[in-house]
Amino acid sequence: MTIKDLFNTLPFLPSWARSSPKIGYAIYTIEAILVLLTGLYLYMWTWQEYTLPYKNLRGPKTAHWFWGNVKTFLAEQPMVPHGRWIKEYGPTFRYKVIAGAPRFYTADPVALSYILNHADIFPKPPQTRKGMADMLGNGVLVAEGADHKRQRRLLNPSFSPLAIKGMIPIFYDKAYELREKFTALIEDEHSGVGAASPTPPQEMDIVKGTRKIDVMSWLGRCTLDVIGLAGFNYDFKALEEPHNELAEAYRKMFSAGMEVTVGAILQALFPVLQIFPTERMKMVKESSAKTKEIGQKLIDEKKQAILAAHTHGIEKKEDIGHDLLSHLIKANMASDLRPDQKLSDDEVLAQITTFMLAGNETSSTALTWILYTLSQHPDAQKRLREEAMGVSDDRPTLDTLNSLSYMDAVIREVLRLSAPAPATMRESIQPTVVPLGTPVKGRDGKMMDSVHLPKGATMMIPILNVNTSIYVWGPDAEQFNPDRFLKPTASESNTSVPGVWGNLLTFLGGTRNCIGYRFALAEIKVILFVLIRGFEFEELPSKPEIERKASVVMRPRVKGEEKAGLQMPLLVRPLSN
């Protein structure tokens, strides 16, 4: 049979096209593409909807046939659209993302408690884990299942209350070094613009006896030094060196990570697209390589020191140090450990890069938002300073800091309103039924008190929305009011949020709660205590508009100064003036 005879037998080919195989090929190619597109469309918008177990849930109208509601998120600040939808549909609803994929959303504390306390059923989605692993490796923040339990068990001693009390002197040393840096920047008016802030002050921002300072950058340097000494017995000297390579690597990594574009989302959802490298991918890769290089240097130096002192090797009972790195190296080198007690070389490196990032970014980001919020509420700042000034000791104990009720209330309130991590993701690995504490009206008009999720359902853990929920905190949920935490019951309802700290979701809850939250809170209190006794923090007279940008953490950026990157410029005034 000839090609011409074959074409004559095929359907859907017009008679005038059967005389030419080339025309036939072209027509069939077009028809095949149309059939494929039709099939994709039917799958995306008909089949997925028809077979969705929770299709009765209401939700916002889809904004775009392909992008779903994604562009709505990109156009607004973190979690703002979700907060608006809660008011319309209740705390549980659904919406669509790219390619018509459905997403389950709940800010219902009962539902979240079920999800967070069944971490084996609801791990992080593979694409989320991959993005984090590319930056940090398979450390405790990324690992799932048995790997996570093993790593967490080995790391817990490094973050016990007793261990953290032993770190307090390091916190104070670096807090006072930061205080000296601020003082030097204010006194030396001719130090370079880049030293204090990435952009020069406007004329109205030049106030005698003060200085425009990017507090976020300097707080990040301080907390990087803290985790270096407290975690690895190594001083990164980020506060001391004007161009510190590790601090610069993190700055670039976060600047790239904050640019959440449609292309970046597509590459995360469809990894095959990563064969097309972008400037963002290149920057993250280079920055990650630098952090791993420094992490490996710490490991090599520690191992060499141990081998020099213990020529016959080490066993688990031997004391080689109490910092995080010592615990990690012992779990890697001790000859008498069982396999379930050991860490591989790659896992040790992953923990170091994880805590170099998470160990400083949570605290520095939280402190950034605390100082910004206090600059917006000078009465609260004055009240906090008066409480801190009432302490006679320049280096009070952690117990004394914990007894400062207003400081504690301010920290809780800012971490409620400006949680460093605004959200995280989970995915169900099996069909399950999630209970709801607050029933919601379904599309059929009936109330729903549970939601059936299929295997592979992705969902948002909306930390920021839960922390500002009117169902938990009452009508002033979005207002700054530290006094709510000075009442016997901070919450306006009896609703219990499944968080590990303060009826908040800031540090998550369940078995995947933040392992270092005690470390972060102690560090925040020490640094805030030192700074608030030394300076006043004011909004710049030019009143720049600060917007929130989120990736791994939620950091500030000045509108109109996007090219300068992430920053938090404040007017810093020494109290002596």
Q: What average pLDDT does the chain have?
A: 87
Q: How confident is the model at residue 485 (pLDDT cuts 50, 70, 90)?
A: very high
Calpha distance 317→334 (Å, rounded):
9
Q: Which of 133-142, 155-164, 527-536 has the highest mean pLDDT?
A: 527-536
Look at residue 269 in the predicted model and tell me its pLDDT: 64
For 145: left if phi > 0, alpha if psi spans -120 to 50, otherwise beta; the answer is left
pLDDT in tens, 222-245: 999 999 999 988 899 999 987 888
Look at residue 131 in the predicted model and tell me its pLDDT: 80
Half-sphere exposure of 292 (CA within 13 A, CB side): 18
The secondary structure of 468-491 as a DSSP string is T-HHHH-TTTTS--GGGGGSS--S
Comparing C-alpha atoms, which of 52, 155, 140, 152 is closest to residue 103? 52
- Specify the pLDDT at position 378: 97
User: Residue 315: pLDDT above 80?
Assistant: no
Report the alpha-carbon distance of residue 27 to residue 510 in Å, rounded.
58
Q: Residue 259: pLDDT above 90?
A: no
Q: Specify the pLDDT at position 130.
A: 85
What confidence score (pLDDT) does residue 85 get? 96
Q: What is the pLDDT of residue 190?
A: 65
Kindly report which listed range (133-137, 408-412, 421-425, 524-528) carries the lowest average pLDDT score.
Answer: 133-137
Give the per-residue SS3 of 124-187.
CCHHHHHHHHHHHCCCCCCCCHHHHHHHHHHHHHHHCHHHHHCCHHHHHHHHHHHHHHHHHHHH
* pLDDT for the residue numbered 21: 62
382 C-beta neighbours (distance < 10 Å), count: 13
Instruction: Output the CA angle 168-173-175, nearest 5 degrees.
Output: 90
Stated pTM of the model? 0.89
- Do 8 and 18 contact (CB within 8 A), yes or no? yes
Q: Is 222 annotated as a binding residue?
A: no
- pLDDT at residue 250 in the model: 74
Instruction: Give residue 260's pLDDT.
Output: 58
Banded pLDDT at 24 (limits 50, 70, 90):
low
User: Of 518, 226, 256, which is closest to residue 356 (Cα–Cα)?
Assistant: 226
Higher pLDDT, 321 or 63: 63
